[in-house]
Amino acid sequence: MERDIERVLISRERIAERVRQLAGQITADHSAAEDGQIAIIPILTGAMIFCADLIRHMPLRMRIALIAVSSYPGASVRSQGASLLSRRLGDLRGRRVLVVDDILDSGQTLAKVVPIVQGLGPVSVKTCVLLRKDRLAARRVAINYVGFDIPDEFVVGYGLDYDDYYRNLPDIVTLKPAVLAKVKKP
């Protein structure tokens, strides 16, 4: 895995520091919430690691709901359009919801997920992404919390995959062009 890395874009130390800051900000913004009113929804699979770290710095009584979306099936490096894979959202009426994703690219994933969540009658829906790509489509999306703005490059690690691999890399990295070219769909 290590030898496939081209360069480290964001180190694990910088990620940890920023995640702690974001969690502090989100916690402060939700301090008026009633006890247990908050629901956190990571968009699986990519947001799993980010969300796990984030919520452990948020000392609030919360529930976790789940939704799984796929937009980069197999070995693709551009969005193929977001499709809903599964959901376990439960009753969101009266809740203050935070939707968490790994990266904001074309905006199609949030455009798919947010209306579904809104349709379940929560009090409010806020959005949080760790990364936002430097492209017009991403900047046009209204988003409440952003960890890092990054160049418009394909990245993996810290939850982000290529062909479903590399999610467990602790840093956010780019892959060598030869690796991206080599991987073939089964």
Of 10, 55, 67, 104, the one binding ligand 5GP by CB under 6 A: 104
Helix (H) or strand (E) holding 66: strand 66-70
Partner interacting with residue 159 (select from ligand 5GP, Mg ion, none; CB below 5-8 Å by kind): none
**Omega before residue 174 within 30° of 0, cis:** no
Residue numbers annotated as active site: 105
Q: Which of 41, 71, 98, 158 binds ligand 5GP (CB under 6 A)?
A: 71
166 binds Mg ion (CB under 5 A): no
Angle at 153 between CA 141 and CA 168, to 5 degrees: 95
Question: Residue from 39, 117, 156, 172 that binds ligand 5GP (CB under 6 A)?
Answer: 156
Task: Choose between 55 and 131: whose C-beta lies nearer to Mg ion.
Answer: 131
Residue 125 φ then ψ, to 5°: -130, 120
Q: Work out which of 50, 72, 145, 158 binds ligand 5GP, going by CB under 6 A.
A: 72
- Letters for 15-54 (x = contact with ligand 5GP by CB under 6 A, - = none) are ----------------------------x--x--------
Decide if 56 contacts 22 (C-beta within 8 A).
no
Type and span of the H or E element at 41 = strand 38-44
Tokens of 33: 């919430």
List Cβ neighbours of 22 (8 Å cut-off, separation of 6 or more): 54, 128, 145, 147
| Site for Mg ion, residues 43 to 62, rule: CB under 5 A | 46
User: How is residue 161 written in tokens?
Assistant: 């995959």
Contacts to Mg ion by CB under 5 A? 46, 72
Contacts to ligand 5GP by CB under 6 A? 43, 46, 71-72, 79, 82, 101-109, 154-156, 160-162
